[in-house]
Structure 1
């Protein structure tokens, strides 16, 4: 069970463009029904389009733009997004955000000031910061703690744990 990210932004943009076109057509139709001058005159649009040939540069540019937008929307719909869950077994999963937060708290061993954790499909990267001047063994301690916490989750494919230790310079 792998949940993928939603495609909210492209869907909203496409919906807004279609909504704007629909509102424009509806406003013009209502204005015509009331006998007023429409916002966008049908005669001027039809006259302009009837005077344009299929071989005109404007038609080729408009066709290219529409084809490019269509291709981008198609690719956004077909290409899978980033996984939002990590599989525990065939039927259960844990959110990547929850796993990251649990690993960040596990990385807070003695001597660690702060920890930043990135969870990917095959790798967990942790960057820990310490005020210690001697950091020997701290990376191994954090790695052991992270591997233990990953083991507690019993992921279907446990990721490799990579730890990087940064020593902060003392301000005193």
Structure 2
């Protein structure tokens, strides 16, 4: 089970921009049908657009921006995002949410004696733990945290075993 994130943000932004353009065009058309002065004068806009040439600066910049936005939207649709459900081993397709996966590993790291705080980062094949301790002597703490996280990973049984990296930061210095 590999669930990917939805691409709702680019879709919502595109929809809102198109909706605003459609509302603006509809309001101008309705104002013109009712004989009122429209917000955007069609004659003035059409005259300005007809006065532009393809090799002018404004159409070149507008075209470049349109191409860049289109490329960003295509890349957002095509490139895979971070997995929201991480696959686990087992016969039926099973998985754990990224949040619960991180919190259970963080709890394992925080449970080690001498750890005052733990912050975990999950990448595709790597778990990085940043450990804070109040100890002045941090010998063996990194190995203990690594062992605790490895034991918890063995209990979880992820589909691919990530490598574990531990960084220890002592809040107190040795005298």
Residues 1-172 of structure 1: pairs in structure 2 closer than 5 A: 1-89=1-89, 91-108=93-110, 109-169=112-172
Moved more, 12-21 or 83-92: 83-92
CA offsets, 1:128-162, max 9 Å, x none?
Answer: 11112222222111111110101111111011111
Separation in structure 2 between the aligned mates of residue 58 and residue 138 of structure 1, nearest angstrom: 61
TM-score (norm 2): 0.88
Report the Cα offset of residue 61 of structure 1.
2.5
Where in structure 1 are there 5+ consecutive unaligned residues? none
After superposition, the C-alpha distances for 1:71-100 in whole angstroms (9 at most, x for unaligned) are 111111111112222111372111111111
How far 1:9 sits from its partner (Å)?
Answer: 2.6
Q: SS of the counterpart of 1:107?
A: helix
Tell me: CA distance 1:111–1:37, structure 2 relative to 1, closer, same or farther (3 Å).
Answer: same
Distance 2:124 2:130 in 1: 18
> Aligned pairs, how many?
170
CA offsets, 1:26-82, max 9 Å, x none?
A: 111111121111111111122222333344433332222211211111111111112
Under a length normalisation based on structure 1, what TM-score does the superposition of the two structures give?
0.90
Tell me the secondary structure at the aligned position of residue 113 of structure 1.
strand
Runs (4 or more) in structure 1 with deviation over 6 Å come to none
Q: Which segments of 5 or more consecutive residues in structure 2 lack a partner in the other structure?
A: none
